Structure 1
Amino acid sequence: MKLRHRSILLPAAVAALLGNAEQPAQAQNLFQMLFGGGIQQRQSREDYRGRHQRYEQRSTRQPAVRPAARPSVKSAPITKISAPSYHQYKADPLVKVSFRELIERPRNVSFEPTLNASGFGEAVGGLEGFDLAAEKEIAKAIEDYYGEHPDFIWVTGYNANARSVEAMRVLGAAGTYGLDPAQYTVTPPPAGFDLSNMPARNRELIRFEMALSARVLRYVRDAFAGRVNPNRISGYYDFPEKPLDLAAVLATLSRSQDARSYLESRHPQNDRYQALVAELEVLRASAENDIVVDAGLLLKPGGSSPELPKMLKLFAREADDAFRTEYADLLALNVDSHTYADDLVPLVKAAQKSKGLSADGVIGPRTVAAFAGMSKADRIQKVETALEQLRWHPSDLGSPRVFVNQPAFTATYNDHGVDQLSMRVVVGKVSNQTSFFFDEIEQIDYNPYWGVPQSIIVNEMLPRLREDPGYLDRSGYEVTDSKGRRIASSSINWWQYGSKVPFSVRQTPSEANALGELKILFPNKHAIYMHDTPSKSLFDKDVRAFSHGCVRLHDPRGMAAAVLGTSVDHVAEKISQGHSTEKVGRKIPVYVAYFTAWPDQAGKVEYFSDIYERDDRLSKALEAVAEVRSASG
């Protein structure tokens, strides 16, 4: 049975404006422009009919639409659905570790001091009046562990043991991983002590024992899951809790003969994390850039800036011999010029092209970053931010996997540690940001329907529907009620709805469909997926933040074939057969990620602009955590 529909096939440019989550638009002007006087559109691309042979396309002429009469009853005011917001991060306060149960527990102990006895029982009294602050779950782990195992981990005889020395060395080197060593500091008991004053020595040892356990557990928790809870930063963040049995960590350390290896193993165990750690070490040992350019430079032809001579020097240094030969005279003539003269435009465009940038002749942040790079301090901060963010993820990222990096505007399919496929993507605009989370790919939809999100229905469609209730009927959209029954858009009194529209709207498959030929689904509460787009020109831009949040793929057929483990020809054949769904028969995690510093498979770290200013917000969250920890000692 052939699928019949009466959607009007709009050109790709108009489709992008209509409902395609790519272009920012003011609702009233947008839909008046598209539908205010009716629509006349004819399908003209013969190759589309070949690819979609199971569809019967029909061109339609519609009469001019008169505005709907406003109902006499009071209309509901339109309350726009807002995007997630960012919050001021509040770090959990530390709590006092309770030693009361341990102190008051009946014990059979020998008070004769011998170097062979553990001495824990006779030392417990030294916890009286000891104020040790720790995170709530860490305090509980200490209370639970020592309640069940009343013995030293970090002390042997009357001195700190070798295990504690190794542990403190790891804590002191926390900066290697972008952590702050000051947050894990423990003062060991002095090596010398007075044998005639054993109660004082026991007090030093038992307090050192508990303090080191608290800071070791903090280190393990931070290394394993990060210092902040990302979901508290914004609704754009969505990460599952990473459960960690902290009491079991102490039990493991009590048996371990290699505390260093165990503690270091708590960090993510993947090649990207190790590459970032290596980059951090190199950066700290490196010198500052010899040519530092204002990262916010925006210089157009005819303008002037003292940064121009620096950029010309960088163009000459970074470009190839052919570039230097062709523009040698021009470079020499303008070596000290602050004016961006018209005759420099071809030079700038050639330099931009050599770096794979859009050759627009405007010297902006992207051009500066490509040639001058970022300052040493900025790069260190980006790497430390990336290390923190990677701790929110699984230690093993999985293989195969799909990794979308929003600041890089790329999506990569990786299998067996090799990036098999990489492509440009379009992500959400600043007002409709793409969320930061990971999930698992489940299926491919060919010639998909586009289920219009409630936010677009209310914010963008509803104003137009009040003036022209029937435009959805004429434009390839289906409206259904809560029971799934089709309803004519023209029959609905749209004036009575203002914030929650009790109808579903979807765009039927067609060349004009906002999702193009296919979408790749990994169901999530953000309604984000990867898909095709009819607006291919957006992929030519350097900064590709235009959508309502979904990820638009430059090569959707290639990505679909990769995740299915099949060929592009198979995908093309499925598309030619009309609307259908194909399940992905293997586990493929997808990371819809946000990293302004990210290594390629060879370990080379690339740096990107912080399009959503998320690095700065994470930095403030980390400052809040550090403030709480420093205030409690």
Structure 2
Amino acid sequence: MKLRHRSILLPAAFAAFLGNTAQPAQADNLFQMLFGGGIQQRQSRHDYRGRNPRYDQRYEQRQTREPVAQPAPRQAAKPAPITKISAPSYHKYRADPLVKVSFKELIERPRNVSFEPTLGGSGFGEAVAGLEGYDLAAEKEIAKAIEKHYAEHPDFVWVSGYNANARAVEALRVLGEAGTYGLDPAQYTVTPPPAGFDLSEIPERNRELVRFEMALSARVLRYVRDAFSGRVNPNRISGYYDFPEKPLDLAAVLDTLSRTQDPRSYMESRHPQNDRYQALVAELEVLRASAENDIVVDAGLLLKPGGISAELPKMLKLFAREADDAFRSEYAELLARDAGNHTYSDDLVPLVKAAQKSKGLSADGIIGPRTVATFAGTSKADRVRKVETALEQLRWHPSDLGSPRVFINQPAFTATYNDHGVDQLSMRVVVGKVSNQTSFFFDEIEQIDYNPYWGVPQSIIVNEMLPRLRQDPGYLDRSGYEVTDSKGRHISSSSINWWQYNSKVPFNVRQTPSEANALGELKILFPNKHAIYMHDTPSKSLFNKDVRAFSHGCVRLHDPRGMAAAVLGTTVDHVAAKIGQGHSTEKVNRKIPVYVAYFTAWPDQDGKVEYFADIYERDDRLAKALEAVADVRNASG
């Protein structure tokens, strides 16, 4: 009877307490409030014990600092609404306005300063007066470079005698061939003075020559700058872009051009000097000379078994042409029988799956955009745009990409380790969702973390965890997370009044190493402000999908042990041994750049260019930025 009496009184005692809270407690929260937190968390750790001695050791050590849960705080009378942390946005690109080049210092130079005359013709000093009233618009840094160079070197670069010299003729040819590199020749146009003139018109000829001199310098410098670092500043497109400035001393460029007799070699050397850039240039030339695809398939086709489409015969023809001999031999009869059939019958499903498998696609038997793009390719115009976009983006990168290096191409969903010009290792990756896009930048790999902790970003704490924590404050305690304050002290999540926080939570949250840890066995760090790194994942099934945009922004690796061994210059067995020893870190003791890149056209190591879907629509945004630049340049002549 005594026990029965207590079993009735205990819930009654807490009924009044619970009645004062606006949110009903979950059963497991009530258990924590009565008997202390961490019970279920300890159980999950116990389940993991015995699998790894180092985990057992850490488990025993953590018992001494296990946070003690306090009764869940009451909901605030007026809880603060959650203000979600937004992802970076895309901006309307604003190109820098052009400025007038100032010739004031040249025009007003004291007369006692001598100008070296050009042999056999007009001297620069005699021609400078022709700059009076001349409006030449150029980019601000180019205008400054012109002013600086001619103040220090008051002489012609592009004129000899009374005509454009051989240096100028060659430079003009290079500018006219800008389209070879995906640039717009119209943005570098300069009209040279006519060859013939009347000697009685020397003052007018001097004016023509000196103005041509300045115009050609401005456009050559524009070409060199565009070739070296691109026409747009990528960081203005979005916060997802993060590229360092590529400094270029344009006055020194003009100094060099004034001394060389081979301006072509110098100007073309300002383009990136790597094999991938050259492969894209070659691809552009081939594309422009080629005809349109002979078989054009609707890019939005989505055909499932049992469906009907006039596009099916085209796809069957492409399967037969693009697949290997073994495929053609096995399915020759079926391909011939259904060559003109518009109905996707069940007996065609194995054929479609085999074709998809031959191209490394997910063999799901559905003929969708990914399958169409792989076999039919994109239109000629679309491929040209993709290559021109890739050329522009490569100019944002170092000219020498480095060796060894890791190259992650988000639209391809691949990560590749390249050494001595050879792709030694390539694997599938998962990248960020459209709402949590992976950024576009490059960095340098520093270390490997084995059995890592996962420091939960504020955006995930606020946007995804906070709503649940308001209803279930003990959630983190039970799920393998540690909560610490600004001083590093461990706190039970159930003791925190989560209702009082909205856009900023003043606690750090990290997930402890375990089989369920979001980062899996290891992560590969290249510290950056975007908190992006490569890592393992327990969600292995996602690698079987063709489109792999599922993460919060980090890059999940299909073969993390292989990549870790590659960048460390060691073996997979070494990496496995380190994982078996528990949580630890290992420094990468050599320089390995990592490119977290975004290219919808990209060459393999043999120079063959592959094309990919623009999953984040970044090509379109770059096209608009380039249009903005062109509008400013064209408006100024």
Q: TM-score, normalised by structure 1?
A: 0.90
Aligned to 2:12: none
Contact 1:538/1:544 (<8 A) preserved: yes
Deviation at 1:147, TM superposition (A): 1.3
Taking the aligned partners of 2:311 and 2:31, their CA distance within structure 1 comes to: 51
Aligned to 1:352: 356
Say if 1:419 and 1:52 are closer, same or farther in 2 by CA, change over 3 A. farther
Counterparts of residues 405-420 of structure 1 (less than 5 Å):
405-420=409-424
Counterparts of residues 614-633 of structure 1 (less than 5 Å):
614-633=618-637
In the alignment, structure 1 residue 274 sits paired with structure 2 residue 273:
no
In the alignment, structure 1 residue 339 sits paired with structure 2 residue 343:
yes
Deviation at 1:158, TM superposition (A): 0.6
Which residue identity does 2:131 align to in structure 1?
L
Taking the aligned partners of 1:361 and 1:67, their CA distance within structure 2 comes to: 54
Determine which of 174, 179, 184 is the counterpart of 2:178: 174
Aligned to 1:536: 540
Taking the aligned partners of 1:525 and 1:443, their CA distance within structure 2 comes to: 16
Deviates more, 1:100-109 or 1:255-264: 100-109
Determine which of 105, 124, 129 is the counterpart of 1:125: 129
Taking the aligned partners of 2:220 and 2:118, their CA distance within structure 1 comes to: 28
In the alignment, structure 1 residue 214 sits paired with structure 2 residue 213:
no
Say if 1:323 and 1:414 are closer, same or farther in 2 by CA, change over 3 A. closer
Determine which of 549, 562, 571 is the counterpart of 2:553: 549
Name the SS of the counterpart of 2:199 in structure 1: coil
Which residue identity does 2:332 align to in structure 1?
A
Deviation at 1:326, TM superposition (A): 3.3
1:603-622 superposed Cα distances (whole Å, 9 cap, x missing partner): 11111111111111111111
Determine which of 146, 150, 155 is the counterpart of 1:146: 150
Determine which of 511, 515, 518 is the counterpart of 1:514: 518
Aligned to 2:566: 562
Say if 1:67 and 1:174 are closer, same or farther in 2 by CA, change over 3 A. farther
Aligned to 1:527: 531
Determine which of 351, 364, 367 is the counterpart of 1:363: 367
In the alignment, structure 1 residue 49 sits paired with structure 2 residue 86:
no
Taking the aligned partners of 1:111 and 1:45, their CA distance within structure 2 comes to: 85
Contact 1:51/1:575 (<8 A) preserved: no
- Look at both structures and tell me which one has the larger radius of gyration over its CA atoms: 2
Taking the aligned partners of 1:582 and 1:147, their CA distance within structure 2 comes to: 55
Deviation at 1:35, TM superposition (A): 9.8
Aligned to 1:202: 206
Structure with greater helix percent: 2
Count of aligned residue pairs for this structure pair: 597
Taking the aligned partners of 2:131 and 2:494, their CA distance within structure 1 comes to: 76
Aligned to 2:331: 327
Name the SS of the counterpart of 1:142 in structure 2: helix
Name the SS of the counterpart of 2:52 in structure 1: helix
Deviation at 1:419, TM superposition (A): 1.2
Taking the aligned partners of 1:33 and 1:137, their CA distance within structure 2 comes to: 67
In the alignment, structure 1 residue 450 sits paired with structure 2 residue 454:
yes
Counterparts of residues 281-430 of structure 1 (less than 5 Å):
281-430=285-434
Taking the aligned partners of 2:60 and 2:509, their CA distance within structure 1 comes to: 21
Name the SS of the counterpart of 1:322 in structure 2: helix
Which residue identity does 1:455 align to in structure 2?
S
Aligned to 1:75: 79
Which residue identity does 2:52 align to in structure 1?
R
Deviation at 1:33, TM superposition (A): 14
Which residue identity does 1:415 align to in structure 2?
D
Deviation at 1:329, TM superposition (A): 3.5
1:20-62 superposed Cα distances (whole Å, 9 cap, x missing partner): xxxxxxxxxxxx999999968587689943785655499x9xx
Deviation at 1:153, TM superposition (A): 0.2
Contact 2:118/2:156 (<8 A) preserved: no
Taking the aligned partners of 1:34 and 1:176, their CA distance within structure 2 comes to: 67
Contact 1:301/1:362 (<8 A) preserved: yes
1:293-350 superposed Cα distances (whole Å, 9 cap, x missing partner): 1112111122222211111111122223333343333333332232222232222112
Deviation at 1:72, TM superposition (A): 4.3
Name the SS of the counterpart of 2:442 in structure 1: strand
Contact 1:227/1:622 (<8 A) preserved: yes
Contact 1:68/1:467 (<8 A) preserved: no
In the alignment, structure 1 residue 99 sits paired with structure 2 residue 108:
no
Deviation at 1:181, TM superposition (A): 0.5
Name the SS of the counterpart of 1:192 in structure 2: coil
Gaps of 5+ in 2: 1-25, 33-39, 64-68
1:550-579 superposed Cα distances (whole Å, 9 cap, x missing partner): 001111111111111112121111111111
Deviation at 1:116, TM superposition (A): 2.3
Which residue identity does 1:600 align to in structure 2?
D
Aligned to 1:29: none
Which residue identity does 2:283 align to in structure 1?
E
Which residue identity does 1:545 align to in structure 2?
A
Taking the aligned partners of 2:118 and 2:608, their CA distance within structure 1 comes to: 56
Which residue identity does 2:626 align to in structure 1?
L
Contact 1:409/1:425 (<8 A) preserved: yes
Name the SS of the counterpart of 2:431 in structure 1: strand
In the alignment, structure 1 residue 460 sits paired with structure 2 residue 464:
yes
Name the SS of the counterpart of 2:174 in structure 1: helix
Aligned to 1:576: 580
Taking the aligned partners of 1:36 and 1:422, their CA distance within structure 2 comes to: 50
Deviates more, 1:280-289 or 1:523-532: 280-289
In the alignment, structure 1 residue 475 sits paired with structure 2 residue 476:
no
In the alignment, structure 1 residue 588 sits paired with structure 2 residue 588:
no
Say if 1:57 and 1:481 are closer, same or farther in 2 by CA, change over 3 A. closer
1:506-552 superposed Cα distances (whole Å, 9 cap, x missing partner): 00111111111111111100000011111111111111110000001
Determine which of 433, 436, 445 is the counterpart of 1:432: 436
Taking the aligned partners of 1:552 and 1:386, their CA distance within structure 2 comes to: 24
Taking the aligned partners of 1:177 and 1:533, their CA distance within structure 2 comes to: 40
Say if 1:36 and 1:511 are closer, same or farther in 2 by CA, change over 3 A. farther
Name the SS of the counterpart of 1:216 in structure 2: helix
1:215-255 superposed Cα distances (whole Å, 9 cap, x missing partner): 00000000000000000111000000000111010000001
Deviates more, 1:87-96 or 1:111-120: 111-120
Deviation at 1:353, TM superposition (A): 1.4
Taking the aligned partners of 2:228 and 2:116, their CA distance within structure 1 comes to: 42
Contact 1:109/1:122 (<8 A) preserved: no
Aligned to 1:192: 196
Say if 1:198 and 1:72 are closer, same or farther in 2 by CA, change over 3 A. closer
Taking the aligned partners of 2:483 and 2:447, their CA distance within structure 1 comes to: 24
Say if 1:359 and 1:51 are closer, same or farther in 2 by CA, change over 3 A. farther
Taking the aligned partners of 1:379 and 1:222, their CA distance within structure 2 comes to: 22
Contact 1:66/1:468 (<8 A) preserved: no
Taking the aligned partners of 2:624 and 2:450, their CA distance within structure 1 comes to: 43
Deviates more, 1:325-334 or 1:450-459: 325-334
Taking only aligned residues, the RMSD between alpha carbons, in angstroms, comes to: 2.5
Contact 2:115/2:154 (<8 A) preserved: no
Deviates more, 1:288-297 or 1:233-242: 288-297
Which residue identity does 1:49 align to in structure 2?
N
1:330-374 superposed Cα distances (whole Å, 9 cap, x missing partner): 333332232222232222112111211111111111111111111
Deviates more, 1:317-326 or 1:370-379: 317-326
Aligned to 2:264: 260
Contact 1:159/1:205 (<8 A) preserved: yes
Contact 2:227/2:395 (<8 A) preserved: yes
How many percent identity over aligned positions? 86
Aligned to 1:225: 229
